[in-house]
């Protein structure tokens, strides 16, 4: 089962690339961020006619998240308020559309677009930290249902030095400050692990390259798009890849897709052997 995340930076501008990538990769579920479109104008039909079901939570110009699925999704939840109906902070956050979740094959997939924060002195930085605190409450509410959890998206945080092209210069600044990192670590707790790091421990693997400063040409990037899995899913993870080539397209998003392959529902080894035996006849 392939589950992917991609900050597309405008779903309407990226639609041709999005459709091409879906055709090539055939993910079961693609979670996109920065759709930048109000719900009535989401390019739903063009995806539906390619066999996908689409669930979106957007607004004009900024933010916006969506789920593009080959299978029907169950229990789609829009916004923080879907898990925290009585949390006043969660309701305040609803003016920025940054979170949508659903059940696919029994897995709770939470697609998020974490606020960027702008700079350490900005009130947007406070907003980012408060949003992460709210996300922590959101996941605690979700946990009461005992669903296997996959949370993925644009986290706008590099957790470690190996996730930044120039840690000496950038550590401590926006997306790499200790407060942001601690807030994210609290959200993850003991429950969630970054599946990319199960398969790759080296630096120089980025998911975002700044449009400015020749970030792509100089390969100056950050790894800020993550997929976190609970233990049960992690044990069935087969691979996690960054589709870097999409950043090299003409008129690219500044982010590349990240894809995890999970053996799900889990198939036992003896069942594999039986299937192989059948295939011989």
**How far apart, in whole angstroms, are the C-alpha atoms of residue 224 and residue 179?**
16
Q: Under DSSP, is residue 68 helix (H, G, I), strand (E, B) or coil?
A: strand
Indicate whether 180 belongs to the interface with DNA (CB under 7 A).
no
Q: What pairing do the DSSP bridges indicate for beta strands 29-33 and 2-7?
A: parallel
Residue 13 or 126: the one with the smaller Cβ distance to DNA is: 13
**How far apart, in whole angstroms, are the C-alpha atoms of residue 16 and residue 115?**
26
Indicate whether 37 belongs to the interface with DNA (CB under 7 A).
yes
Residue 196 or 264: the one with the smaller Cβ distance to DNA is: 196
Closest CA to 132 of 187, 64, 91: 187
Strands (E), the chain: 2-7, 29-33, 53-57, 65-69, 74-78, 99-104, 107-113, 149-154, 193-194, 208-209, 221-222, 225-229, 237-242, 258-262
Given 113, 125, 138, 228, which residue is catalytic? 113
Given 28, 154, 194, 254, which residue is catalytic? 154
Residue 149 or 175: the one with the smaller Cβ distance to DNA is: 175
Indicate whether 116 belongs to the interface with DNA (CB under 7 A).
yes
Please state, in angstroms and as integers, the Cα–Cα distance from residue 178 to each residue in 80, 171, 184, 227, 239, following that order. Answer: 24, 9, 10, 21, 29
In the residue annotation, 276 being an active-site residue is answered as: no
Binders of DNA in range 244-263 (CB under 7 A): 251, 254
| Among 48, 50, 51, 61, contact with DNA (rule: CB under 7 A) | 61
Residue recorded with tokens 């198939």: 267
In the residue annotation, 146 being an active-site residue is answered as: no
| Among 62, 71, 218, 235, contact with DNA (rule: CB under 7 A) | 62
**How far apart, in whole angstroms, are the C-alpha atoms of residue 60 and residue 95?**
11
Which span (33-41, 68-76, 137-145, 268-276) binds DNA, by CB under 7 A? Answer: 33-41
In this structure, what are the phi and psi dihedrals at residue 243, rounded to the nearest 5 degrees? -85, 70
Indicate whether 171 belongs to the interface with DNA (CB under 7 A).
no
CB of 75 vs DNA, minimal distance in Å: 27
**How far apart, in whole angstroms, are the C-alpha atoms of residue 195 and residue 254?**
22
Indicate whether 119 belongs to the interface with DNA (CB under 7 A).
yes
Residue 22 or 224: the one with the smaller Cβ distance to DNA is: 224
CB of 246 vs DNA, minimal distance in Å: 13
Contacts with DNA, 150-169, as mask; x by CB under 7 A: ----x-x-------------
Closest CA to 115 of 224, 255, 3: 224
Residue 140 or 244: the one with the smaller Cβ distance to DNA is: 244
**How far apart, in whole angstroms, are the C-alpha atoms of residue 33 and residue 97?**
10
Question: Which residues would be at the binding site for DNA (CB under 7 A)?
Answer: 7, 9-10, 12-13, 34, 36-38, 60-62, 115-116, 118-119, 124, 154, 156, 173-175, 208, 210-213, 222, 224, 251, 254
Catalytic residues: 113, 154
């Amino acid at each position: 089962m392939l589950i992917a995340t991609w900050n597309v930076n405008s779903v309407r501008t990226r639609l041709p690339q999005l459709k091409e990538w879906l055709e090539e990769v055939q993910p079961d579920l693609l979670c996109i961020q920065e759709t930048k479109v109000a719900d009535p104008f989401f390019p739903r039909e063009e995806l539906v006619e390619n066999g996908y079901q689409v669930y979106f939570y957007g607004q004009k110009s900024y933010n916006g998240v969506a789920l593009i699925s080959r299978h029907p999704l169950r229990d789609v939840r829009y916004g923080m308020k879907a898990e925290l109906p009585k949390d006043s902070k969660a309701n305040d956050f609803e003016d920025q559309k940054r979170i949508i979740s659903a059940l696919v094959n029994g897995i709770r997939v939470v697609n998020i677009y974490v606020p960027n924060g702008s700079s350490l002195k900005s009130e947007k930085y406070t907003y980012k930290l408060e949003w992460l605190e709210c996300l922590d409450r959101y996941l605690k509410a979700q946990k009461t249902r005992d669903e296997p959890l996959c949370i993925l998206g644009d986290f706008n945080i590099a957790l470690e030095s190996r996730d930044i092209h120039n840690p000496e210069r950038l550590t401590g600044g926006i997306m790499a400050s200790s407060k942001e990192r601690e807030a994210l670590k609290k959200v993850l707790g003991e429950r969630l692990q970054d599946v990319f790091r199960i398969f790759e421990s080296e630096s120089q693997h980025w998911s975002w390259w700044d449009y400015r400063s020749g970030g792509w040409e100089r390969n100056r990037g950050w790894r800020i798009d993550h997929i976190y899995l609970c233990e049960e899913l992690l044990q069935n993870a087969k691979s996690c890849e960054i589709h870097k080539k999409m950043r090299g397209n003409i008129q690219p998003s500044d982010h590349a897709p990240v894809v995890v392959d999970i053996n799900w529902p889990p198939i036992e080894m003896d069942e594999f052997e039986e299937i192989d035996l059948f295939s011989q006849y």
